[in-house]
Structure 1
Amino acid sequence: MADRLDPNDPLDKLIRERMDLFTHEDSGYLAIQNTRPQTIGYGLTDSPVLQLAWIAEKFAEWTERPVDRDRLLTNVSLYWFTASGVSAAHTLYEQAHSTDWGAPPTVPQGYAVFAADETVRKLIPAPPGTHWTEFSHARHFPALEAPADLAADLRTFFSPLS
């Protein structure tokens, strides 16, 4: 993706700065899951403290509003009681190591982009006719941060399809 950026374009410079920051400061979880998902998976299914820390850190980093403690613990509990930390880690691993993504989708596509700014649309090439909604608020966990907005956008996307 970075090689598509024009070093003289101000928007591309901003995108590159954010990519560099992510690479150097925020990509540790991704590096672990992309290279050793089973190792972190063992920890996530063996230690409730690690499971809580793994998810709570992401809530702290990837939300703009405080998330209710009961909602956080419910989310962590779902991972803990289903032992799905391993499968979640493997999802990122499989994405990182896939070479055949198949044919482009033929079904309607939709994006609800939270914490959107001018960089997002440039980075995600959406085919013509794609449902695209940008929200300036909420972040990585819109179902927890902006559930009404997410539900309304899902209704808007699916209503012409029913």
Structure 2
Amino acid sequence: MSIEPFHIQVSDEVLDDLKYRLDHIHWPDQLEGSGWERGTEINYLKSLVSYWREQFDWRKQESQLNRFSQFKCNVDGIDIHFIHEKGNGPNPIPIILTHGWPDSYIRYQKIIPLLTDPASHGGDPEDSFDVIVPSLPGFGFSSLPKHSSINNYDISELWAKLMNEKLGYSKFAAAGGDIGSGVTRYLALSHPELLIGIHLTDIGIIRDLMTSQDNIELSEEELHYKKSAPVWISNEGGYMSIQSTKPQTLAYGLSDSPVGLAAWIIEKFLAWSDCNGDIRQKISEDELLTNIMIYWITNTIGSSAGIYYENTHSLPPMGHIEVPTGIAIFPADILLPPKEWAMRNLNITRWTTMARGGHFTAMEEPGLLAEEIRAFFRPYRTKTQK
């Protein structure tokens, strides 16, 4: 399949079915006096669902998403959906941005114009990028093979072919967070000849540090991580445990109930954002619901959860990364990586602690992240080729 234009157009039947389900909710009870500590708080969710039913306008959001130049192409039997916006500047760097879970490709919608056209947003046109934002396989509008599994490494191979063979970039940049961080690191590990540099907002869960027996060799920050990471996983990682062991069982409920889907996703947005307990301080209800809708209208919550299973059971080990790497640490993110470990395992040329922000960096603080990405890649622009 060649590269073909893509336009989001959800059928009225899908939206009518959603409306029926939102009009016939079977609400659970919640223990009096409890809040978010037991999971998504019922009064907040009822308020969000009320907005969903009475005010949220999918057609408006659909139209806004369709402002971007979107495409689909087949890479190794998988139909990959992606945004491809050309930069407005003298020498744009191509950059592929990879999202995670439970967000989607819309994680980056606010940052795209800041990178493609910095001059229109208070920046320098010399810092422009060609921005490519794909949907992960099995997320949103990208397909997933029915007879084979796919993990972060496999996705990195798809991205290399998308950027190099399909789009014709002989050199490009890459950035990501959450699952996108893992995909980006594998891309740099396996195809350093294609990469100008990579930029990360996290390093995921550092398993080898958690199991290290050489405490004497670890820094104070690394020892803190070794103790705190298992506590975080125990208290906050239930979603990860089920998605990495029994994602199919979870998929039945979340694929059938839009409210169940919303509760599963929203809990993480509140817990992982720099929002002081009120997610609406950082991410609007329209943004939250549009992200949920991407999962609902494509029925991909099950396949998206399944990547945790594949990453747990089939992911190859990660080696030392030689490609120049920039890391932006957002203070309210989860499991902040120890700098010493990162310096040993990646070729870090820029490490920045940001003033504010949480896990969903490009949604919460698009301006801060855009400027940091511009600053990191500025010294490498002479190496760009197309």
TM over 0.5: yes
Q: Which residue type is aligned with residue 2 of structure 1?
A: M
Task: Give the aligned CA root-mean-square deviation in angstroms.
Answer: 3.0
Work out the percentage of aligned pairs sharing the same amino acid: 33
Structure whose residues are more often helix by fraction: 1
Mean Cα deviation higher: 65-74 or 27-36: 65-74
Of residues 331, 343, 364, the one that matches 1:145 is: 364
Query: What is the 5 A alignment of 1:103-114?
Result: 107-114=323-330
* Alpha-carbon distance between aligned partners in 2 of 1:129 and 1:12, rounded to the nearest angstrom: 17
Mean Cα deviation higher: 27-36 or 131-140: 131-140
Name 2:215's counterpart in structure 1.
6
Q: Which residue type is aligned with residue 64 of structure 1?
A: D
Superposed CA deviations along residues 119-147 of structure 1, whole A, max 9, x for unmatched, are: 53244454225544332421111112111
Mean Cα deviation higher: 96-105 or 47-56: 96-105
SS in 1 for 2:346: coil
Q: 1:110 to 1:57 in 2, by over 3 A?
A: same
SS in 1 for 2:329: strand
SS in 2 for 1:35: coil
Q: Which residue type is aligned with residue 242 of structure 2?
A: I
Mean Cα deviation higher: 94-103 or 7-16: 7-16
Which ranges of structure 1 fall in alignment gaps of 5 or more residues? Answer: none
SS in 1 for 2:358: coil
Superposed CA deviations along residues 72-129 of structure 1, whole A, max 9, x for unmatched, are: 1111111212222122212222211124247766655443332279853244454225
* Alpha-carbon distance between aligned partners in 1 of 2:359 and 2:245, rounded to the nearest angstrom: 23
Which aligned runs of 4 or more in structure 1 are off by greater than 6 angstroms?
A: none
Of residues 240, 247, 270, the one that matches 1:30 is: 240
Q: Which residue type is aligned with residue 120 of structure 1?
A: P
Of residues 127, 133, 144, the one that matches 2:346 is: 127
* Alpha-carbon distance between aligned partners in 1 of 2:348 and 2:367, rounded to the nearest angstrom: 24
* Alpha-carbon distance between aligned partners in 2 of 1:107 and 1:10, rounded to the nearest angstrom: 27
Mean Cα deviation higher: 69-78 or 149-158: 149-158
* Alpha-carbon distance between aligned partners in 2 of 1:104 and 1:119, rounded to the nearest angstrom: 16
Q: 1:126 to 1:23 in 2, by over 3 A?
A: same
1:88 and 2:307 aligned:
no
Which ranges of structure 2 fall in alignment gaps of 5 or more residues? Answer: 1-208
> Higher relative CO (CA 8 A, sep ≥ 6), structure 1 or 2?
1
1:48 and 2:258 aligned:
yes
* Alpha-carbon distance between aligned partners in 1 of 2:219 and 2:340, rounded to the nearest angstrom: 12
Mean Cα deviation higher: 113-122 or 45-54: 113-122
* TM-score where L is the length of structure 2: 0.37
Aligned residues: 162
SS in 1 for 2:356: coil
* Alpha-carbon distance between aligned partners in 1 of 2:377 and 2:219, rounded to the nearest angstrom: 37
- Deviation for aligned residue 1:39: 1.9
Name 1:78's counterpart in structure 2.
294
